[in-house]
Amino acid sequence: MKTIKEISEMLQHTFNPEPWMKQLEDDHRSGVKKELQRWYRNYEKKLQLEQMLQEKIDFDASYKTYNGALVAGVDEAGRGPLAGPVVCAAVILPEEAPQLLGLNDSKKLSTQERERLSTIIKEIAISYSVHIQSAERIDLLNIYAATRESMEIAVHTLDSRPDIVLADAMKLQVGCMAESIIKGDAKSLAIAAASILAKTTRDRLMDGLHEKFPMYNFKKNAGYGTGEHVEALHLHGPCEHHRKTFEPVKSILERR
């Protein structure tokens, strides 16, 4: 009879149900039952993630006008904060991407998972591009126009020209068919991949700004208007990376 540790190791190297696992259901040891239950829970989770991945792949494929057409997903990070840039990314993925199991809207993933997926996306993408739109440009154009411009630049700087562009809730002019997809990062694999690249890039930029302006705690709030951030704004005033047309930055500058 195998020990519980041996059975656990066997299950760790088993990826699909096997006939020998049926025998474990009759094993009277509670440790064996726990290991088996854990395996089935993880297996069900894997099946769900595989289904989600396939649904996102199918969603992107539904926009292809011919076999081999290239679909670019576009998304942004940082439209709402009081400080820092808005970052936009465009990504063209291969038709099959099993490495991206678990890829979802970047806001629903941990920092570690976003970084892991960001590395994979850059390795397997047919092409990807990231554009950083400064706070100064945001103030000049307004946040909507600045984000749209940044998204379009990200598309135009892709190494491969896409046949169709799917953008998260933004209608773009990019010289090819373009669709605005509401909650696109939850529906499209390419948009979800773009959201990961945009979010991880912006987080790193805000961490860098934190080193220069620690009084605002950008490392924690990423430039968003938390109570702590607003209090620091009243105490120290805005820095050059704050968006001067956003409240309460605008009012604080006027009072000063």
In a domain, 19, yes or no: yes
Per-residue pLDDT of the chain in tens (256 residues, 90 and over written 9): 789 999 899 999 998 999 999 989 889 899 999 999 999 998 999 999 999 999 999 999 999 999 999 999 999 999 999 999 999 999 999 999 999 999 987 888 999 999 999 999 999 999 999 999 999 999 999 999 999 999 999 999 999 999 999 999 999 999 999 999 999 999 999 999 999 999 999 999 999 999 999 999 999 999 999 999 999 999 999 999 999 999 999 999 999 7
pLDDT at 224: 98
Task: Kindly report the CATH number assigned to the domain that includes residue 160.
Answer: 3.30.420.10
Number of domains, the chain: 3
Widest CA span of the chain, in angstroms?
A: 79
| Six token digits for residue 62 | 């539904």
77 and 159 both lie in a single domain? yes
- Residue numbers of the domain that contains 216: 209-255
In a domain, 64, yes or no: no
Identify whether the C-beta of residue 253 lies closer than 8 Å to the C-beta of residue 139. no
24 and 124 both lie in a single domain? no
8 and 82 both lie in a single domain? no
In a domain, 59, yes or no: no
Nearest to 252 by CA among 189, 3, 239: 239
Residue with tokens 């892991």: 116
pLDDT at 3: 93
pLDDT at 1: 77
In a domain, 65, yes or no: no
Q: Examine the fold and report which residue of 207, 223, 241 is the final residue of a domain before the chain moves on.
A: 207
202 and 215 both lie in a single domain? no
Q: Which are the contacts of 202, defined by CB distance < 8 A and separation ≥ 6?
A: 77, 78, 84, 85, 86, 87, 222
pLDDT at 256: 79
pLDDT at 26: 86
Predicted model pTM: 0.91
In a domain, 184, yes or no: yes
